[in-house]
Amino acid sequence: MNEPRHPNFFAVEYADQVREEAEYALAYLKHLERMIQNPANISQFPRIQEYEELVSRGIHWLTIELLDLLSARTTRKLMKNALHIKAYLTFNLNICLKDLYNLVTQRTRSHFPVSEYLRKIHVENVRPYVYNSIDNALRFFMRCYFGDKFKATLACMTELTGDFRVRPIELHRKGILTVEVPEVNITRTRLWSGLAHEAAHHRLSMIPGMQKVDNLFEELSEELQKIGWRHVPKIYKSFEIVEWLSYLQYQEMLADISSVMVIGPASIFGLLCYSPPVAYDTFFTHPPLPVRVHYAFELLQSVVEESTDCAKELQDLRRSWDLYYRNFGAGEAHRDMVEEYLSVLRDSYQSDLFEVVRESIVVGSHINPFNEETWGKISDAIENKQLEKLGPVELVNVPLYRRWKSYPEMLKSERTPLLYRSYEKKLTCFIMKRFAELHP
Amino acid sequence: MRERRKWFSFAAYVGRHGDYARRHFDVEATHMENLLEPYRNSRSLWEVLLEIIHDAPQPGVKYDMLTRRALKAFPEGFSKQEMKSSLSLLRKRKLIAYHRQTQTYSVARGAKLPLR
């Protein structure tokens, strides 16, 4: 297969997200190096040489790897480098970095200067708005799923590592939700789709016993378990685990569909720009990426009329996804699993899933779920650069859609897409401020 | 139309298996680790080249030998262009040096090597 001349949009976006994570980790490492090498702190660290070695090797390794990533010009090379860095961060660096950071903070009482870092990446004005805007955005999504009377105190925490998570805690009283957000995602447009997805998970875990949701699970569970028995790793081949995994996958499907129904393409962009391009062939906690992308596109294409601008854009997006997937989805075992999965969904359950979400999960009366009209408003706003009148659903769609639209132009002018994000950063600040002002 | 079965309790189901499963899965963390598992010990071309050069006896290693060994390490997807750019990256970072007289690559004197 001939490699297209330019790297694929989604490969660039995924690689760029990894680049930002790596640069963030690098900034952390440099902060730790400064702390450890400060003569005043020597007595605080009995194993100083070991720490120095660890930090210095991490800095060297990441610097070279980042240079290598920035020089990548093809989809394959971008994906390979990005996955390589992501695996290094996940398995080698994040855990020891977190432990070392805790140790250094505890002993020297010095914290990583997040504001300084944000200034460096040109989103310095965003810091005062972060927590309020995340709270307000999440409250908006919760109301889409729980109804207009949803009330909770949200405690947002940002973490160096980890993933999006919303969970209830009981401190002095009920009704407090902790919201964990990976720190690096604060500056990413993927933040909003992550919140929309997690809010749906929270709804599913807090209100069990919804008859339609449960009935569908009972039917689908049998089919999922059949796939599961064929593809689950050997160590997990037990009735309980396969059943539990199909339960988790069902929840993921519902959360994906809910999020697509509410915010539309932003959810697909988020999914594709965040998920590693890997053709995994094991039955695990999430459905395979091509399956998730498939039902998301099917849902969106079912709500727009054919031959409209919106339908054409969705077709373009889907074509771009197909090209991207061709680069990593050739494994036979993976294809088999995806095909089995899709044949189950396509033939029997896809429309049931959409119906269940529409009737039982997306229940807020104040929202107008994504539709052609929303799309029109987004395109107009981008064209006329007038974002002030947009509502939350439109706002979360603007940055990645705008980036998608300007991508061909970016390539024509031979800019390096990995480094050209200044307008997107401006948009991030703007959206943060808008959400902070929102009074839900 | 499929036949609808009797009502099934999701809550009861979670109660039956939830604790057991939660002990085994931190869903998000294991998901990402599972996806990236095949790349856990993967290495970039520059890392492999640096390792070969580092392990080579004096006066260093020739380009042809480097290519052969790199090709062995990356039987699929190896490209000479990528190798050249990796070598140039290592030279720019002053981790390796090229000796014209012997036409060999060796580790630069005093360089701290980011080898794992």
Kindly report, residue by residue over A374-416, the tens digit of the pLDDT.
888 888 888 887 888 888 899 989 888 888 888 888 777 766 6
Which residues 192-231 of A have a C-beta within 8 angstroms of B?
A: 208-211, 213-215, 217-219
C-alpha torsion sign, points A279, A322, A10, A345: negative
B39 and chain A in contact, CB less than 8 A: yes
Give the gap in angstroms from C-alpha A216 to the nearest C-alpha of chain B.
9
- Chain B residues with CB under 8 Å of A281 CB are none
Q: Which of A55-64, A150-159, A384-393, B8-17 has the lowest mean pLDDT?
A: B8-17
Rounded distance between C-alpha atoms, residue A189 and residue A314, angstroms: 19
- Chain B residues with CB under 8 Å of A84 CB are 39, 42-44
Report, as an integer, the average pLDDT of A357-376. 82
pLDDT bin (cut points 50, 70, 90) of residue A184 is low
Contact A390, A377 (CB under 8 A): yes
pLDDT exceeds cutoff 90 at A268:
yes
ipTM of the complex: 0.85
Tokens coding A357 = 């979400």
- Chain B residues with CB under 8 Å of A284 CB are 30-31, 34
Residue in A with minimal Cα distance to B15: A208
Q: What residues in chain B have per-residue pLDDT under 50? A: 1-8
- Chain A residues with CB under 8 Å of B44 CB are 65, 68, 81, 84
Considering chain A, what is the average pLDDT of its residues? 84
Tokens coding A80 = 């390979």
Contact B88, A68 (CB under 8 A): no
Contact A40, A59 (CB under 8 A): no
Report, as an integer, the average pLDDT of A82-90. 91
Q: Give the pLDDT score at B95.
A: 92
Bridge partners for B62 per DSSP = B104
pTM of this structure: 0.88
Q: Give the pLDDT score at A272.
A: 92
Q: Give the pLDDT score at A97.
A: 78
C-alpha torsion sign, points B84, B85, B88, B94: negative
Q: Give the pLDDT score at B25.
A: 58
Percent of chain A with pLDDT strictly greater than 70: 85
What would the DSSP string read from start to end of A140-162? Answer: HHHHHHH-TT---EEEEEEESS-
Bridge partners for B61 per DSSP = B105
B17 vs A47 pLDDT, higher one = A47
The answer to whether B33 contacts A57, with C-beta atoms less than 8 Å apart, is no
> Of A9, A68, A48, which Cα lies nearest the Cα of A409?
A9
> Of A143, A178, A152, A16, which Cα lies nearest the Cα of A81?
A16
A153 and chain B in contact, CB less than 8 A: no
- Chain A residues with CB under 8 Å of B31 CB are 284-286
- Chain B residues with CB under 8 Å of A64 CB are 46, 89-90, 93, 95, 114
Bridge partners for A168 per DSSP = A177
- Burial class for A208, CB neighbours closer than 10 Å (0-12, 13-18, 19+): middle
User: Who's near A102: CB < 8 A, 6+ residues apart?
Assistant: none
Q: Give the pLDDT score at B5.
A: 43
Q: Give the pLDDT score at B4.
A: 43
Interface test with A, best of B14, B17, B32 (most A CBs within 10 A): B32
Q: Give the pLDDT score at A23.
A: 87
Rounded distance between C-alpha atoms, residue A76 and residue A96, angstroms: 30
Q: Give the pLDDT score at B68.
A: 93
End-to-end CA distance of chain B: 59
Report, as an integer, the average pLDDT of A29-48. 82
A90 and chain B in contact, CB less than 8 A: yes
Of B4, B17, B89, the CB nearest to A67: B89
A381 vs A163 pLDDT, higher one = A381
A304 vs A161 pLDDT, higher one = A304
pLDDT exceeds cutoff 60 at A21:
yes
How far from the centroid of its chain's Cα atoms is residue A294's Cα? 17
Tokens coding A261 = 């129904």
How far from the centroid of its chain's Cα atoms is residue B10's Cα? 41
User: Who's near B47: CB < 8 A, 6+ residues apart?
Assistant: B115, B116
pLDDT exceeds cutoff 50 at A185:
yes
- Chain B residues with CB under 8 Å of A91 CB are 33, 36, 40
pLDDT exceeds cutoff 50 at A124:
yes
Contact A155, A174 (CB under 8 A): no
Q: What share of chain A is helix, strand, coil (3-state, %, to 5)?
A: 70, 5, 25
Rounded distance between C-alpha atoms, residue A262 and residue A259, angstroms: 5
The answer to whether A276 contacts B25, with C-beta atoms less than 8 Å apart, is no
